[in-house]
Amino acid sequence: MSQPDVIVIGSGIGGLCCAGLLAYYGREVLVCESHSQPGGAAHSFQRGGYHFDSGPSLHSGLTRWPSSNPLQQVLHLLGESVPCATYTGWDCHVPEGQFRATVGADAFCDLLLKLRGAIAVQQWRELQRVMAPLGAAATAISPGAWRWDWLAPLTLARSGHHLLDHLGAFRQITAPFSRIVDEVISDAFLRHWLDLLCFLLSGFPASGTSTAEMAFMFADWYQPDVVLDYPLGGSGALIDALVRGVTKHGGEVRCNATVEEILIESGQAVGVRLRGGEEVRAKQAIASNASIWDTIRLIPDPNLQAKFTPPPACDSFLHLHLGFDGAGLDDLDCHGIVVADWDRGVTDPQNVVVFSMPSVLDPTLAPPGHHALHVYTPATEPFHLWADLERGSAAYDAMKQERLAPVWQAMERVIPDLRDRCAVTLEGTPLTHRHFLRRDRGSYGPAISAQTGIFPGCHTPIPKLLCCGDSTFPGIGVPAVAASGMITANTLVSVFDHLKLLNALDR
């Protein structure tokens, strides 16, 4: 496209959802992606016959309609779907022992009764009772109804025609979730468990996580007959579906198109300059799916950069991508978590290790009899430990061995002879994360506590420059970034077009 209506910088899920909806709205949209393949942190890759996810692997709401999952809403509008395997729980190794945590209205209570007794069950039931109206309030408005301008009440009212029923809950859902936990939960394990769930949703324990995020999760996970979803083909299958949605509605996704500068004229964004010197101008706007810190660096004028107030950042990751022989391992789960010590806190480096083994559900992701495994520390690895190291150096390799040792030990609680079984071993660090995903400091995203701040939305101090992705909307992971892409796209179109989209979501 010589001059599209909108240029989207980056093809993460937020950028592709934004571009897909803009194309659906009839806008000419160009996505510029620096990597050789689209997807950002959600792309998949192959090594030695194994298919690995680079990032997100826990999904829900992809196999039902209507769905409150913003990604499923975008796919529905674009006329795309992704076949999924379904499952109900994950493997947990915590100080209390090993168990399988299961979603659903009652299953977790059955586990609690065995693990902690009747009092813990009573407290969980009370928490479910308290969260039920808050979950109804959190899901009363479809993510597709939001837009960041003064016309938002028109679309919010269209989507949330029962808002008056939830007015009493809105004040509660904007507060930290810890306020509700402190009122309802005294059982030590349950308090730790809720801190863990909060951390996986927001990067904070309950004290820094908004009640709205947890209310959404309770409404989604703890209801009758709920299942979790894994896209067949890996997270890359979701990216492929979004790219198809963009292109079949007239948009374009260009890989190996690194944006080196956002062009500013008369104080507003007018286009981008790519590596190699090519300039592409936009008729309407630029939407950056790069992180806020990386977006700021693309602005050439220091005075304009100074108008931004970037948030604090989450820490980075340690990764293991392993291909291993699964002989004799017949009871593996797709997902799991290992917690070394509750007293250290869920945000302590190397204390929490998460793993994903999707080949349990989709055998095509690994050679016959083998499994593809992704293990990581979830946004708890300090970047300053790695900042002065050079990838490939002896000091870097020594640091990898030191820092990854507890990660290996955590996984050996699940598969004791894992190292001996491995045919492919890929070790990643914050520098890997920064290099391949173009992430400032290898960070997972902004660390905005529910106690101290709010997410800024899609607007920036520079006219015609908007943002989508993890720097703009509460929560961490796929639903949050997909919602951010929807909101940014909606903001760039008329309210009449937006209302037509909401009608389409009802079908």
What is the tens place of the pLDDT at every residue in 299-329?
999 999 999 998 888 999 999 999 999 999 9
Residues with Cβ within 8 Å of residue 209, at least 6 apart in sequence: 176, 177, 178, 198, 199, 201, 202, 450
Lowest mean pLDDT among 46-55, 167-176, 265-274, 460-469: 167-176
Question: What tokens does 65 get?
Answer: 């309609």
Contacts of 33 by beta carbon, 8 Å cutoff, 6+ apart = 10, 11, 40, 253, 254, 255, 256, 257
The reported pLDDT for the residue numbered 168 is: 66
Looking at per-residue pLDDT, the higher value among 429 and 201 belongs to 429
**What confidence tier does 232 reach under pLDDT thresholds 50, 70, 90?**
very high
Q: How far apart are CA 340 and CA 406, in angstroms?
A: 9
* Per-residue model confidence as pLDDT tens digits over 193-204: 999 999 988 889
CB atoms within 10 A of CB 341: 11
Residue keyed to tokens 């083994």: 357
Here the tokens at position 1 are 């496209």
Indicate whether 2 pLDDT > 90: no
The arithmetic mean of pLDDT across residues 111-125, rounded, is 95
Residue 344 has pLDDT above 90, yes or no: yes
**pLDDT-derived band at 475, boundaries 50, 70, 90:** low
Looking at 41-55, 161-175, 210-224, 482-496, which range is the least confident one?
161-175
Check pLDDT > 70 for residue 162. Answer: no
Rounded CA separation 411/348 (Å): 18
Kindly report, residue by residue over 245-268, the tens digit of the pLDDT. Answer: 999 999 999 999 999 999 999 999
b/e code 475-489 from CB counts within 10 Å (16+ = b): bbbbbbbbbbbbbbb
State the CB neighbour count (10 A cutoff) for residue 458: 29
Domains and CATH numbers, the chain: 6-49+66-82+232-310+447-505 (3.50.50.60)
Q: Are 488 and 18 in contact (CB under 8 A)?
A: yes
Confidence of residue 157 (pLDDT cuts 50, 70, 90): confident
SS3 content of the chain, % helix, strand, coil (to 5): 40, 20, 40
- Which position has the higher pLDDT, 108 or 377? 377
Percent of the chain scored above 90 by pLDDT? 75
pLDDT of the residue at 142: 83
Q: Other CB atoms closer than 10 Å to residue 371's CB: what's the count?
A: 22
Reported as a pLDDT band with limits 50, 70 and 90, residue 143 is confident
| Angstrom distance (rounded) from CA 182 to CA 134 | 16
Query: In terms of residues, how long is the chain?
Result: 507
**101, 120 contact by CB (below 8 A):** no
Least Cα distance to 272 among 284, 283, 287, 260 occurs for: 260
Q: What's the pLDDT score for residue 451? A: 81
> Which amino acid is present at 60?
S
Other beta carbons within 10 angstroms of residue 284's beta carbon come to 16
Lowest mean pLDDT among 78-87, 88-97, 162-171, 178-187: 162-171
On the question of pLDDT at 161 being above 80, the answer is: no
Q: Where would I find the H helices in 118-251?
A: 118-138, 152-159, 167-173, 178-184, 188-202, 211-221, 235-248
DSSP 312: P
pLDDT in tens, 79-102: 999 999 999 999 999 999 999 998
Task: Give the integer Cα–Cα distance in Å for 63 and 190.
Answer: 29
pLDDT (0 to 100) of residue 271: 98
Mean pLDDT of 273-291: 97
Q: How far apart are CA 453 and CA 204, in angstroms?
A: 13
Half-sphere exposure of residue 271, counting CA atoms within 13 Å on the CB side? 14
Using DSSP bridges, classify how beta strands 29-32 and 6-9 pair: parallel, antiparallel or unpaired.
parallel
Q: For 196-233, give the secondary structure using H, E and C.
A: HHHHHHHCCCHHHCEHHHHHHHHHHHCCCCCCEEEECC
Q: How does residue 446 score in pLDDT terms, banded at 50, 70 and 90?
A: confident
Is residue 173's pLDDT more than 90? Answer: no
What is the 3-state secondary structure of 438-449? CCHHHCCCECCC
Reduced to 3 states (helix: H, G, I; strand: E, B; else coil), residue 251 is: coil
- Which amino acid, 416? P
Q: Between residues 490 and 175, which one has the greater pLDDT?
A: 490
The reported pTM is 0.95
Q: What is the pLDDT of residue 163?
A: 63
pLDDT of residue 94: 96
